Chain A
Amino acid sequence: MTTAQETIVLRGHIIDSLILAKALDLILMMGGSFDLDQVEIGRTREDQSYARIIVRAPTLATLNHILRAIQPHGAVVEREYDCVVQPAPADGVFPDEFYSTTHLLTEVRLNATWVDVQRVEMDLGITVDLQRMTARTVPMADVRKGDLIVTGQAGVRVIPLQRPRERDVFAFMESTVSAERPHSHVIADVARRMRLLRDERRGGSGQAKVLLAGGPAIIHAGGRDALTWLIEEGFIHVLFCGNALAAHDMEADLYGTSLGYALTIGHAVPHGHAHHLRTINRIRAIGSIRAAVESGVIKRGIMAACIRDGIQVVMAGTIRDDGPLPGVITDSMQAQAAMREAIPGVGLALLVASTLHAVATGNLLPAAVPTVCVDINASVPTKLADRGSFQAVGLVMDAASFLNELARQLGRSM
């Protein structure tokens, strides 16, 4: 794990002279690593080139050793500055030049010390506490007038994603999306990680949670039993969904249908279109999903498993919801805040069959969290990648097939 880093610059005719190559070789040979942060290559022979390089080493001593070795070759340590902060001009408003975060590990320099920014998340601001020497991300809506907000780029550094030690599908860290790609090895890697995380939690050696954000297609397509089994077996610890997934899950329990289609015989039943409304109405009458499960009205399924196993559920409403069910958060900013609260500790994220929840969850996740996005439509994982969640592995396949195969690999007998 990298612990020390410094930014250096090289200038001059550094390409043809192999000076850049020599400096990079030295860094690697001495046990360091580097990122070429910026390279400008001269267009003519007279033009000089420029390279800005982030040098990393496992210890400060090794870093200093490396810096001493590359300085004779022209490497100059870039002067560092504290980050520049400005007070927020009003509640919910950042200063004009606010620094906009990425979902990568970030540090800010306060009083000549580099401090980790807490709660890594993209598209937020950074607020600092100069007395406590702390920094954390802050959503625009949550900023209060006078909060000190980091502005500009000076004194901020972003640590690129380190390649995970595991040699699995997540090690590539690239969101290639292809319907033609074989799925089984991706699902096998996901299963391996889920088993590891569950075993660590059970053995007390780890606390990392598995998050599933899902859409109602899980129920329609026939993935309900598999997901229920995954929850009951302790493989999933946080569920993000909307009104629909919960409603159709409980509709299936009460009526054996999903959006009016009989799940076992596969066609619409008379008056089936109203089943989800009757389900929602029933739960509203009872007062909560928890009460419905505990009173025995809802006996099986995803929501029942979540209640019984103490799974953290965040249900975020949308503009076209029926009902909604009790517990669905209809204020989207409150829903976002509730989801954000559930993110710390997530060690694996499965985004299954929901454009809305996949992108919303992707926006909240640090890049270091391995993420799989499963959708029958390739545009969903593509959209997720386009919105910046480059670490997500895209699987173009049916939600039920994914969940059934995942459960099978984790030991569920079909």
Chain B
Amino acid sequence: MSRLLICPPDYFDIEYEINPWMRRSNTVDHVSAVRQWHGLMHVLEREVGAVLERMRPVPGLPDLVFTANAGVVVGRRAVVSRFRYPERQREEAYFEDWFRSAGYDVVTLEPEFFFEGAGDLLGFSDCWFGGYRQRSDIRVFPLLSDVFTREIIPLELVDGRFYHLDTCFCSLSGGELLYFPAAFDTDGQEVITERVPEGSRLVVPESEALRFACNAVCVGKHVVLPAGCPETERQLQSRGYRTHPLPLDEFMKSGGSAKCLTLALD
């Protein structure tokens, strides 16, 4: 059973520009966005079998819909995010309230330690990876390593279009890694090749990486990903995964896709 935190897109819009994808002039088609979001939730609930935990949307917080950035959850412990940009810092209190009301043991970080939740912290059972340089501060990973008693390997994100780790790196349930190497510096690429065996590394072509093929939700052998990534789907299918391509382009206007719209709770 997989539980995911989600937040309906009632107030989703582009009201500011804090990543290279966001253009205030690029108007969100609200009806389409709502339809796409519900389509995603339908697949997650009905086809993938995930249990969805909804939090209430808040007027004036257009990005609250991207719950991957709420924090990171392991067991009953949740570390709440500290956003780099003031525009999203207002979300922190709402995410923290939700974690508390759901009974989590909440850990808060000092304000100067930027950390954008599961957007920048992903991995496998024995080893986690932390994306830094664009949004999260590398200094947060030693603290999280203490909190969760896990190894956390920092990876420098060098391409502003892939501003969170979950935009270019997706760990799959079978131990494979879907990723776009050029989003990392050479050290990061070397570390990934050290840690993930060659046969388990699925390299996404640039054209599909730019459609956020890596911003996928993997539950068991199901992978939900944005539509228009045939090569990625082919690779996933060859490894025995069932792919669920979905139109999510309204959310791409804001620099987010399937994974950004969910937070794994266990």
Contacts and interface: CB of A to CB of B under 8 A. Distances in A.
Interface of A: 11-13, 16-19, 21-22, 45-46, 48, 72-74, 76
Interface string B137-163: 011011001100111111110000000
Interface centre among A11, A18, A22 (most CB of B within 10 A): A18
Interface in B172-199: 185, 187-188, 190-191, 194-195
Given A18-B191, A22-B185, A73-B156, 15 more contacts: A11-B142, A12-B138, A12-B152, A13-B142, A13-B153, A13-B154, A17-B191, A18-B190, A19-B138, A21-B187, A45-B151, A46-B150, A48-B142, A74-B138, A76-B139
A48 B194 CA distance: 18
Nearest to A12: B142
Interface size class of B (residues with CB under 8 A): 20 to 34
A18 B142 contact: no
A12 B185 CA distance: 19
B154 A17 contact: yes
Contacts of A72: 132-133, 138
B47 interface: no
16 contacts: A12-B141, A13-B145, A13-B153, A16-B153, A16-B194, A17-B153, A18-B191, A19-B154, A19-B187, A45-B126, A46-B145, A46-B151, A48-B146, A72-B138, A74-B139, A74-B142
Contacts of A17: 153-155, 187, 191
B93 interface: no
A45 B145 CA distance: 11
Interface in B108-158: 126-127, 132-133, 138-139, 141-142, 145-146, 149-156
B140 to A, nearest CB: 9
A17 B133 CA distance: 14
Contacts of B126: 45
Nearest to B127: A45
Contacts of A46: 145, 149-151
A14 to B, nearest CB: 8
Nearest to B129: A17
Contacts of A73: 138, 156
Nearest to A47: B151
A-B interface, 3 closest residue pairs, ranked by CB to CB distance from nearest: A12-B142, A18-B187, A74-B138
Nearest to A73: B138
A48 B150 CA distance: 9
Contacts of B150: 46
A45 B141 CA distance: 14
B152 A13 contact: yes
A46 B151 CA distance: 5
A48 B191 contact: no
A12 B146 CA distance: 9
Contacts of B138: 12, 19, 72-74
